[in-house]
A and B are shown apart, each in its own frame.
Chain A
Amino acid sequence: MTPNDTHRAVEAVWRIESAKIIARAARIVGDVGLAEELAQEAFVVALERWPESGVPDNPGAWLMTVAKRRAIDLLRRRTVHERKQEQLGRELETEQAGSEPELDATIDDPVGDDLLRLIFIASHPVLSTEARVALTLRLLGGLTTEEIARAFLTSAPTVAQRIVRAKRTLAEAHVPFEVPQGADLSARLSSVLEVIYLIFNEGYSATAGDDWLRPGLCEDALRLGRILAELAPQEPEVHGLVALMEIQASRLRARVDPSGRPVLLLDQDRARWDPLLIRRGLAALERAGGLGGALGPYALQAAIAACHARARIAAETDWERIVALYDALVQLTPSPVVELNRAVAVAMAFGPAAGLEIVEALTAEPALQGYHLLPSVRGDLLAKLGRLEEARVEFEHAASLTRNTRERELLLSRAAACAP
């Protein structure tokens, strides 16, 4: 292998192993920032040694061993509390007892626990959302600062600062490197899922002209979700989120027309939906459902997406089932936007008059006042009821509320179509 080949091989190993190594180091030294430095030191050593000695048979274990040794050395050099010294002594005994246990590549449980801890800490609520996203992509996604910056359309120094501050915040708050338990778990898990879905949506909203890193965020989010599903298989909302992302990702190729303009779900060429991802999404949804209990918000959204995914053509959509799912969703996460979506589904299932009833009740909603989709939906339903003059007014109002040129054109043309 040329040095360049080796470098790329080391980077590939890094992509695969770095999160686990950081997680293990963090467990030992109790600090995420320090852990990342130690892991990166191991990476640098690999870059120096492997071009000469060759890539080792078990490169992950090699890196893990180097990082662990440095972490333990670091602990030794620090002034530690007596209890910690005892703990360290026990750990060292375990190290010596098992001859290089890391060479068994499949010690999952300890590593799995550490990885889970790292996932939770990277999206700790003490951090701002942006910080959680950056830290998650960095520590768990293995993205560089530059890659994160490009993916989120910001500058590398901004992201670097964000990450530095995040690590400092965690250290100053003495956030314990533990998996949350009991009552805490639900809220903390919500935070993790929120971060992953945020990353996914950023990727999903990327347009054709964007840097490839942006749509790549969908893959990053999916990978993180799938990893979490294996680490916390008993959590239905994890599978729910994975299901939602798999099914949404299945539509990526159909979302824009040849000239790059967005295509609405019901107008999409379903032949362009990825059947592999749909199958995976439906399987994940089954896993969520199979765990018993009522479906949570992510699983419900996934179930709605699954209704669309199962319909060969738009006309075969099971709208009544979608209405039932929205009924459940609105109970769990009541919001005017969810209610508006429910209205659309009701209209499709039971006719425009039924949908319009729900929309009328929303017109006074303060949260929806500047939201162009409210008059847009209202206009659509009025048009279907033959109340064209009222529909025209709604479409024009909607057009005035949206800043998206393409949307505005669409709404104005719908308004024009209502004119006698």
Chain B
Amino acid sequence: MRFMLLMIPGGYESAAPGTLPDAKAVAAMMKYNESLQRAGVLLALDGLHPPSMGARVSFAGGKPKVSDGPFSEAKEVVGGYWMIQVRSKEEAIEWAKRCPGSDNEVIEVRQVQEFADFPPDVQEAAAGFSELQAQSGQLKGS
């Protein structure tokens, strides 16, 4: 089973462009990341630049509308994620607990949807759309 551990740092919703974590925090996180790697459970991880450097696209009324960050109505934003492979939700939670999170940080644990989770008709529909991915070269190996 795959899980995403979504890091939600309090205050990140109003962080200035170019905000980066301090060296001590980074060092602690690196140790944690290494522990995930050594346990063979880490699939992927990334940090995200703050919303002030990003944009939102909404679709009310069928027309896409772009708003530049920061987003005043957002109380919580994602700062980064880990994707891990474990046998159960409890295992994912246990790993999340081991993160050296600070006082104002929260990790949300979410299971990744796997293709087999979907009923056959959805799988059929998804198969059709994924032709587009192949054609757009999305699958070119790095």
Partners in one complex: yes
Is A11 a contact of B90 with CB atoms below 8 Å? yes
Q: What does DSSP make chain A's interface, helix, strand, loop or mixed?
A: helix
Residues of chain A with a CB closer than 8 A to B142's CB: 279, 282-283
- From B43, B88, B139, A270 is in contact (CB under 8 Å) with B139
- Interface hit among B11-19, B48-56, B58-66, B129-137: B129-137
Is A9 a contact of B90 with CB atoms below 8 Å? yes
- From B88, B91, B131, B139, A273 is in contact (CB under 8 Å) with B139
Q: How far is the CB of B4 from chain A (nearest CB, A)?
A: 12
Is A12 a contact of B139 with CB atoms below 8 Å? no
Residues of chain A with a CB closer than 8 A to B47's CB: none
Whether B21 sits at the interface, judged by CB under 8 Å, is no
**In the bound complex, CA of A34 to CA of B135 (Å):** 57
- From B38, B95, B137, B140, A227 is in contact (CB under 8 Å) with B38
**In the bound complex, CA of A234 to CA of B94 (Å):** 30
Is B124 a contact of A258 with CB atoms below 8 Å? yes
**Chain A interface residue count, Cβ-Cβ cutoff 8 angstroms:** 41
Is B90 a contact of A12 with CB atoms below 8 Å? yes
Whether B39 sits at the interface, judged by CB under 8 Å, is yes
Residues of chain A with a CB closer than 8 A to B138's CB: 275
Whether A255 sits at the interface, judged by CB under 8 Å, is no
> B41, B88, B90, B124 — which one has the most chain A CB atoms within 10 A of its CB?
B90
Q: How far is the CB of A356 from chain B (nearest CB, A)?
A: 31
- From B35, B43, B130, A269 is in contact (CB under 8 Å) with B130
Residues of chain A with a CB closer than 8 A to B98's CB: 105
Query: Given contacts A270-B134, A312-B134, are A226 and B141 in contact (CB under 8 A)?
Result: no
- From A105, A223, A279, A312, B40 is in contact (CB under 8 Å) with A223
**In the bound complex, CA of A59 to CA of B90 (Å):** 14
Provide the A278-292 mask, 1 if CB < 8 A to any CB of B, else 0. Answer: 111011000000000
**In the bound complex, CA of A112 to CA of B35 (Å):** 11
Residues of chain B with a CB closer than 8 A to A312's CB: 134, 137, 139-140
**In the bound complex, CA of A143 to CA of B83 (Å):** 23
Is B131 a contact of A271 with CB atoms below 8 Å? yes
Residues of chain B with a CB closer than 8 A to A278's CB: 139, 141
Provide the B104-142 mask, 1 if CB < 8 A to any CB of A, else 0. Answer: 000000000001100010011001001101100111111
Q: A12-B90, A269-B127 are in contact. List 16 more A-B contacts (CB 8 A).
A: A11-B88, A12-B88, A16-B95, A106-B31, A106-B35, A112-B38, A219-B85, A227-B38, A270-B134, A271-B131, A272-B115, A272-B127, A275-B139, A275-B141, A309-B141, A313-B134
Chain B residues packing against A (C-beta within 8 Å): 31, 35, 37-41, 43-44, 83, 85-88, 90-91, 93-95, 98, 115-116, 120, 123-124, 127, 130-131, 133-134, 137-142
